[in-house]
Amino acid sequence: MTPQAASSPSAEPRSTPSKPPAPQGSSSSSPEPTAKGTSVRSVNYPDRYWHISGDYVRLDPVTSPADRRAATFTVVKSLAESRCYSFATADGGYLRHQNFLLRAEHDDGAPLFRQDVTFCPRRSSFGGAVMLESVNYPGRFLRHQNLRLRLDPYQNTDLYRADSAFLLVDGLG
């Protein structure tokens, strides 16, 4: 699917907010961890999931058992803000934004690390999906661009809203 295909009528959001989405209630919006973990699926590329590739997180199709494990995380209470959450990796690391790119790293004990791994759920214009806002860069949300996960300032466009909408689903691994 090309990015242009994301603007098809079936992918259109119901509303077009001109400002960043409002916070969601903490208890009903937080995903419930499962024994299998959690995977994060793209709304506008429904066959692609967050996937650790090298040190970075990409949006990839997941087919092999190793890929399925690399696309499964544990959602934990965030390290910096109680109403938000972090994504832990199977090897004990976390998904962190650094230089505005999402990557897998181990905790270095620094306060900056705790903020970089903290994402707050926000309402998405796509039913059941969330947008994930950085706690230390308010107004910047995780989105995919060129199949890489990055932190970008909110843009009032259909493509941005689709690229930053994710479904938290049962883990693939």
Span 166-170, average pLDDT: 96
Using 50, 70 and 90 to split pLDDT, how confident is the model at 173? confident
Q: What is the pLDDT of residues 3-17, one digit of tens each?
A: 333 333 333 333 444
Q: What is the pLDDT of residues 2-52, one digit of tens each?
A: 333 333 333 333 344 455 666 554 333 445 444 469 999 999 999 999 999
30 near 85, Cβ under 8 Å?
yes
Q: What is the pLDDT of residues 142-167, one digit of tens each?
A: 999 999 999 999 999 999 999 999 99
- Residue that has been written with the tokens 């843009």 in this structure: 155
Arithmetic mean of pLDDT over the chain: 85
How big is the CA angle at 20 (ends 131 and 84), to the nearest 5 degrees? 45
CB atoms closer than 10 angstroms to residue 69: 17
99 near 146, Cβ under 8 Å?
no
Secondary structure element (H or E) that encloses residue 27, with its range: helix 26-29
Alpha carbons within 13 A on the beta-carbon side of 147: 13
